[in-house]
Amino acid sequence: MITLAHDLESIHHDLRQRLDIAAGARPDLGHPRDHYTAIDTFLAAASRHNAAMVDAIAPLVRHLPDGHDLAHEFLAASRAYEESLAQVKAKLYGSTLAVARPWPSIWEDVRHELDAVTRLEVRLADALLAAEPDDPRDLGTRLHHAELVSPTRPHPWIPHQGVVGHLARAVARRVDRFWDSAEGRMVPEPVRHHDRRRQGPLTQYLLADPHLDDD
C-alpha cells in the first residue's frame, strides 16, 4: 500500500518537469516542429497516468465506507484535467477548437488542473492507507500495470466509470497505439519510484525519456 504514495510522488514530480519542458518549447523557422516532441511526450505521460488512476485506484476508494464522495470529486477533477489536455492536443495539431487560444492561456489551465488532480490523488492514497493500513496489496504495481495498458492521448468525452468506462478506455488505447505507431510517436515508460535509478543515461537517451536525478 505504501508504494502507491511513493510512486505518486515520483510521477507527480515527473509530470511537472515534463509540463515545464513542454510549456517552454518553441518552434523556429529552421525547426518548425521541434516543440512537437516535448508536448507530445508530456501529453502521453499525463493522459496515461490519469486514465490509470481512474481505472485502477478510484474504484478502490469508491468502495470504502466513506470514499464515495472523494472518488466522485476525483473523477470530476480528472475529467476537467483531461479536457485541458485535449486543448493542448487541439492547439498543437491546429484544430479550429483551439487555434485562436494563445499557448500561455492553455498552459495556465493545464497547470491549474494538474495541481488540483494531484492533490486529490494524494488524498486517494491517504484514504486507502487510513482505511486498511495493513493491506498487503502493492497498489504501486497495480497502478503501473494499469498505465501500461492505458490510452496515451486525452479522451475526456468517453465514459469514465464502471465496466463501460473500462471498455471505452481499452478501445481508446488500441486506437492510440495504432496512431502512435503510424506517427512514430515517442511514448515514455511509466515512472516507478523504485525504477528511476535503474536506467542509466544511455537507456534514457534511447527511450527519449530523461529523468536524471537532481543530484
Contact 26/71 with Cβ under 8 angstroms?
A: no
Q: Does the residue 164 lie in any domain? A: yes
Q: Is 176's pLDDT higher than 60?
A: yes
Residue 215 lies in a domain: no
Q: What is the pLDDT of residue 177?
A: 92
pLDDT at 197: 45
SS3 string, 124-146, reads HHHHHHHHCCCCCCCHHHHHHHH
List b or e across 163-183, with b for residues whose CB sees 16 or more CB atoms inside 10 angstroms: eebeebbeebbeebeeebeee
pLDDT number for residue 51: 97
Residue 94: left (phi > 0), alpha (psi -120 to 50), or beta?
A: left
Mean pLDDT of 103-131: 96
- At residue 2, the pLDDT reads 65
Range of the domain at 201: 2-206
- Write out the three cell numbers for 148: 501500461
Take residue 77 and report the three cell numbers written for it: 477533477
Cell of 165: 468506462
Whether 171 is covered by a domain: the verdict is: yes
Cβ atoms of 190 and 148 within 8 Å: the answer is yes
pLDDT value at residue 61: 96
The number of angstroms, rounded, from the C-alpha of 202 to the middle of its chain's C-alpha atoms is 24
Mean pLDDT, rounded, for 160-187: 90
CA 65 to chain centre: 27
Is residue 211 in some structural domain?
Answer: no
What pLDDT score does 196 carry?
Answer: 46
Q: Is residue 212 part of a domain?
A: no
| Angle, vertex CA 201, rays to CA 199 and CA 205, nearest 5 | 100
What pLDDT score does 50 carry? 97
Confidence at residue 96, expressed as pLDDT on a 0 to 100 scale: 80
Q: What pLDDT sits at residue 32?
A: 53
How many structural domains are present in the chain? Answer: 1
Whether residue 125 lies inside any domain: the answer is yes
Grid look-up 510521477 returns 11
Please provide residue 71's backbone torsions phi and psi, each rounded to the nearest 5 degrees: -60, -40
Cell 492505458 locates to 150
